[in-house]
A and B are shown apart, each in its own frame.
Chain A
Amino acid sequence: MLKPAHDVGIVGYGAYVPRFRLPASEVARVWTDGTGGLPIKEKAVAGLDEDTLTMSVEAARNALARAQIDVTQIRAVWVGSESHPYAVKPTSTIVAEAIGAAPFTQAADLEFACKAGSEAIVMGMGIVGSQMGRYVLAIGMDTAQGRPGDALEYTAASGGAAFIVGPAEESVAVYEAALSHVTDTPDFWRRAYSHYPSHGHRFTGEPAYFEHVVSAGQELMQELGTQPSDYKYVVLHQPNTKFPQRAAQILGFQPEQLKTGLLVPVIGNTYAGSSLIGLTAVLDEAQPGDRILMVSFGSGAGSDAFSIRVTDKLNEVRDRAPRTQDYIARRKLIDYATYVRYRHKLQMN
């Protein structure tokens, strides 16, 4: 279990979901003649002028609007993603510059498939918990790639969230502890210079997602001496609708505890942003004293589990920035052809 020397928490949080939605039925119409089940209703698609950097900047600005801190006190800007705009040139320095945190800050881009965002939070807990720095900006954001016609194309979506990790006494929610669980599990990968990821089909379930999410969640609760009934909410990584529903059930949670943070049916799988943006939706509704269990998952594979307790400050800061549901409500449906244009799936030259 990871527990910092000094208590830390979330000082500010912010979400971002782009405006466009591709219904899963559109993917089915093009590739399966409309047959077969649909894993979600629709997914969020970044527009032509959006990428992981632009979405990170907006989520970070929302987090700052809630935190209302001196931005020059941010000692690290970490962006977790598997769709950084450049292969070499950090997204994080551009975010730092855009929000005014540059130049006296740490900055790095993280990669651990869908777990890169929660990894940034754990690292932020270390910086703040050791009092090396007062605040850390941790972001999980993606414009997820899916091979045309592949099962992932139904769900691979755009969006994510930003968190400012800071001292517990300034926090809207306090991290009681975290726990990480990683193994070498080849369930999903993308090689250098490849446009699209590859995956192990059914292998992505039991040995990968369920093994890591359930083990991390169980182990953290066991070490903390908590049980599912102690938590008002549970937020899990959500590659589709069924996986988090089943994992929550195995962990002993009720559907009601999962519902608020389960956004995948209406925005898709935002990869590194997935569990993080689910947490923002929960923070938009949670009340002081509520406890939240969050478990991320990244292929390759690993999970970070967090036990979080909401403080009295949450109600003060909530409406200083748009709620996650404000972004979800702002939607414009697009067809598959428009999606192909927006996600650059046509080779023009």
Chain B
Amino acid sequence: MSIPRNWRTRQQRYSLKAEVCNTCNKHIFPPRDVCPHCAAEKQSWTNLSGQGEVFSYTTMYNAPAGFEEYAPYTMALVKLAEGPMVTAQLTDVDAQDVKIGMPVEMVTRKLSQEGEEGQILYGYKFRPMLREAA
């Protein structure tokens, strides 16, 4: 990703900064100009709780460029408590312990880095609820 794109999306990546549609009241993530539910153009900023559950998942053994360091890792579709579905990496969990319907919470982690000299990209991942993992 380029520097301007990283910069533009920093708040949604760090903390799931989202929108609520002023017309249909549904949550929108990632933020966009037109509501995907009712096509209205006016939205308000909101913060999501960061809680959700695993809708589906797969474990990556052949990682795309920039993510090789983390392989093997599990990617999931996470259904957020407020409604939106996001694709994100799971962390702090072993692949064999992931289950569909597993409650997860958002954490901000390192997504990738551009070599030893480039920028470090941070963003959301999901992990099992901390108190249940302890």
Residues of chain A at the chain B interface (Cβ within 8 Å): 19, 47-51, 53-54, 57-58, 85-86, 94, 97-100, 322, 326-327, 329-330, 332, 349
Contact = CB atoms under 8 A, between A and B. Distances in A.
Given A49-B91, A98-B15, A98-B108, A54 B122 contact: yes
B8 interface: no
A49 B14 contact: no
Interface residues of B, number: 24
B70 A49 contact: yes
Q: Chain B at the A interface: mostly helix, strand, loop or mixed?
A: mixed
B14 A98 contact: yes
Contacts of A349: 116
B108 A329 contact: no
Interface of B: 10-11, 14-15, 47, 69-70, 89, 91-92, 94, 107-111, 116, 120, 122, 125, 130-131, 133-134
Given A97-B10, A98-B14, A99-B15, A47 B91 contact: yes
A49 B109 contact: yes
A185 to B, nearest CB: 33
Contacts of A51: 110, 120
Contact of B122 (A53, A326, A332): A53
Nearest to A20: B92
Nearest to A51: B110
B109 A54 contact: yes
Given A48-B70, A94-B14, 5 more contacts: A49-B125, A50-B110, A54-B108, A54-B110, A98-B15
B108 A326 contact: no
Contacts of A326: 130-131, 134
A48 B11 CA distance: 22
Nearest to B89: A49
B3 to A, nearest CB: 12
A48 B125 CA distance: 13
A229 B69 CA distance: 52
Contacts of A47: 91-92
A86 B120 contact: yes
22 contacts: A19-B92, A19-B133, A49-B91, A49-B110, A49-B125, A50-B110, A51-B110, A53-B120, A86-B120, A94-B14, A97-B11, A97-B14, A98-B14, A100-B47, A322-B131, A326-B131, A326-B134, A327-B130, A327-B134, A330-B133, A332-B94, A349-B116
A329 B133 CA distance: 9
